[in-house]
Amino acid sequence: MRIVLIGATGLVGRSLWPLLEARHDLLVLGRRPSGAKDERLGSMAEWPGSLAGERVDLAISTLGTTRKAAGSWEAFEAVDCHAVLAFARAARAAGARHFLLISSSGANARSRNAYLRLKGEVEAAVEGMGFERVDIVRPGLLLGDRQERRIGEAIGQALAPLLNPLLVGPLDRFAGIPASDVARALATLAEQQAPGLHVHDNRAIRRRAAAGA
């Protein structure tokens, strides 16, 4: 299967691309090297053009940043919305039937929270692009070693062992979850073929990760 991935140097992507490369024909698009064998580097604006003439089966986005890391809301939106959607459109034009998207717990296009509303709008846009299958993965707080400093998330990671046991029932979707588990879940979802929209919260992610262990 020919797979194209963006976000390979991020927290989830670093664990995901080796799993995909071991079983499939993987192409990584990025701004800096990830270590993948087949990789095309350039600015985010250049990524869609990199797929011209390609034929792909599956496209995956694990791309994401924060408003603070991006420096402004506009810069954040350029990554988490515009770059993701431009990639999705290019992948669809290249024949991709299946799209996998890392979103966020609580994503909702009608949310009053700007971050969650944007995530929900991106989900809705991808759903409307004509893919045969779309998997939306909504993890809670991602746990793992980040290459960049995110103070708020560092505090959340430190508190996760104390807070996770308290986040039960519907609140479990906000619990911390290892990025490596999310990567394993994505690797198993990459091989699913049943059509339609499939949304996965923490519980579903853990089940998928265990199946791919």
Residue of 89, 115, 125, 192 marked catalytic: 115
Output the CA–CA distances (angstroms, integers) from residue 134 to 48, 96, 99, 127, 201, in the order listed: 19, 11, 5, 7, 14
This prediction has a pTM of: 0.88
pLDDT digits (tens, 9 = 90+) for 86-124: 999 999 999 999 999 999 999 999 999 999 999 999 999
Residue of 14, 92, 98, 119 marked catalytic: 119
Q: What's the confidence (pLDDT) of residue 194?
A: 97
Per the structure, how many domains does the chain have?
1
Q: What's the confidence (pLDDT) of residue 68?
A: 85
pLDDT digits (tens, 9 = 90+) for 116-165: 999 999 999 999 999 999 999 999 989 877 555 555 555 555 555 545 55
> Residue 88 sits in a domain of what CATH number?
3.40.50.720
Active-site annotation holds for 119: yes
**Domain ranges, residue 32:** 2-211
Query: Phi/psi at 59 (nearest 5 deg)?
Result: -120, 140
Cβ burial of 51 (10 Å; 0-12, 13-18, 19+) is: buried
